[in-house]
Amino acid sequence: MGAVMKVKVWRGREDGGFQSYEVPREESQTVLDVVTYIQRRLDPTLAYRYACRVGMCGSCAMTVNGVARWTCRTHVSRVVKGDTLEVAPLSNMPVIKDLAVDMAEFFDKWARAKGRFAGAETRRDEFARVEPKSPARREADAGIECIGCGVCYASCDVVTWRPDFLGPAALNRAWTLVNDARDVERRERLAAVAGDAGCHACHTQGSCTERCPKQLEPTRAISGLKRLVAKAARRGEL
């Protein structure tokens, strides 16, 4: 291709700024290729995260031209504006350095939403029989493929406005568990995800669903939680 594009990359922490680099265009070039080119050829002090390069691990998410994306699965040709590209760290998470953010709070919220499976059976019990076509299992299956990349969380305005909001990923996880027939902490989980740090804070704007690279629907999961929580409240279980 031979052309060169101008890439603005965030450097420093929250009080940092954009620095420009010139990177040659290649065919089938991904944004991760661009960032890697800068780090290997132009500026070895650039910090960023990636592992698998093929959309399996969820560690390379960044804000590309204002939108949170997996950089490994984003072709430059799809997002470049003219000949410029802007790469920034994910929103709603503290910046550690350059393009790497601190995801501790993001994952702590999974724990706060009781995102851990709690079973009652042991290895000596029979396998649980779960009907794959049952409505509950279908709901769980629809959300189970989340790999925790943080794109939905970075895209959520409610997280920006209410920093204690659990966020779409943690609530999606809770939704898959309340639909798991083997789980025994449904009631505690519903209490954990209710309230204005939980599902009730969601305004159903749908940015999470719009941007999820795995086409999951956290908005749907959160609506489901609202319904179940309302039922639990009516029964006095909260």
Partner 1 sequence: MTSAAREARLWYWQRMSAMVLALCVLVHIATIVYAVRGGLTAAEILSRTRGSIAFGAFYVIFLLACAVHVPIGLAAILEEWFSLPRRAARVVSGVFAAIMLGFGLAALEGVVFA
Q: Would you tell me which residues interact with partner 1 (CB under 8 A)?
A: 158, 161-162, 191, 194-196, 198, 200-201, 203, 226, 229-230, 232-234, 236, 238
Query: Least distance to partner 1 from the beta carbon of 196, Å?
Result: 5
List helix spans (H) across 38-193.
76-79, 104-112, 135-143, 151-155, 157-161, 168-178, 186-193
| CB nearer to partner 1: pick between 100 and 191 | 191
CA angle 141, 165, 89 (to 5 degrees): 85
How deeply is 55 buried, as exposed, middle or buried, from its count of CB atoms within 10 A (0-12, 13-18, 19+)?
middle
Query: Least distance to partner 1 from the beta carbon of 230, Å?
Result: 5
| CB nearer to partner 1: pick between 189 and 211 | 189
Query: Least distance to partner 1 from the beta carbon of 169, Å?
Result: 20
| CB nearer to partner 1: pick between 47 and 191 | 191
- Asked whether the beta carbons of 146 and 216 are under 8 A apart, the reply is yes
How deeply is 146 buried, as exposed, middle or buried, from its count of CB atoms within 10 A (0-12, 13-18, 19+)?
buried
| CB nearer to partner 1: pick between 33 and 164 | 164
Q: What is the DSSP letter of 49?
A: -
Query: Least distance to partner 1 from the beta carbon of 203, Å?
Result: 8
Query: Least distance to partner 1 from the beta carbon of 22, Å?
Result: 41
| CB nearer to partner 1: pick between 21 and 165 | 165
Kind of pairing between the strands at 61-64 and 17-24: unpaired
Both tokens of 205, joined, read 């704007």
